[in-house]
Amino acid sequence: MRRKSEKGFMLLETLVVTVFIATLFAFIYQNTIPLFGEYKQRMKYDDVDSVYAADLFRQMLLADYNYNDLVSGLGNDPTNIYKDITDCRKNVAGFNYENDDLCEALEESLNISAVYLTHYDTNLLKQMEKDDQIFTVNTDRGIKTYIDYMPSYSADSTTINQYRLIIVRKVVENGKEYTRYANLEVIQS
């Protein structure tokens, strides 16, 4: 109900609607762009297939192997902060796969190229990686980037006997090979 004598009202109404729409678009833009970045990282890190592959590998480890043998030898210095348990045929720091064929079949069918076991608390692992004390020889740069990406899982009284399994998968999509990473906790049952 405008009167002809109120000529500035239409200009004010246009200005208010324009500011409202501009604010709405800025809010949508501000909240959408980080989602695209997170989506790209989720394609490479902790994607659903890799998490399920890590879970299947973890289930095999917990069902078929002695937990104490599995985690023995892990310490807090660069030489034993993690354990590479990729090779199913090799005795790894006192840990030997009892069912080599199952392990190899699982690694082959899930395209697992590396398996690492480390402490639940990843803060020391992250610090050693930043200081170039670990993963310096014969490892791809991707595992170092993934360790930087991982959340800082901290230990408390309930996580004393818990460890973390990190897997690296080489998957082929559309004729190109990509590397995927995932991690899960390993808890003695």
Tens-place pLDDT, residues 133-150: 888 766 667 888 898 888
Rounded to two decimals, the pTM is 0.76
Does some domain include residue 35? yes
Does some domain include residue 160? yes
Are 155 and 76 part of one and the same domain?
yes
Domains of the chain: total:
2
Mean of all residue pLDDT scores within the chain: 83
- Residue 30 to residue 20: CA distance in whole angstroms: 15
57: which 2 tokens?
């590998």
- Residue 119 to residue 100: CA distance in whole angstroms: 24
- What would the mean pLDDT of 85-101 be, rounded to a whole number? 73
Does some domain include residue 3? no
Does some domain include residue 2? no
Are 40 and 51 part of one and the same domain?
no
**What is the percent of the chain where pLDDT is above 90?**
29
Provide the residue range defining the domain that includes 28: 8-44
Are 29 and 55 part of one and the same domain?
no
Are 74 and 163 part of one and the same domain?
yes
- What percent of the residues of the chain are helix, what percent strand, and what percent coil, each to the nearest 5? 45, 20, 35
pLDDT tens digits, 59-82: 988 887 777 778 888 887 777 888
Are 30 and 70 part of one and the same domain?
no
Which residues are CB-contacts of 88 (< 8 A; sequence separation ≥ 6)?
A: 97, 100, 103, 104, 107
- Residue 181 to residue 170: CA distance in whole angstroms: 9
Are 27 and 55 part of one and the same domain?
no
In the numeric block, the tokens 């590479």 are attached to 84
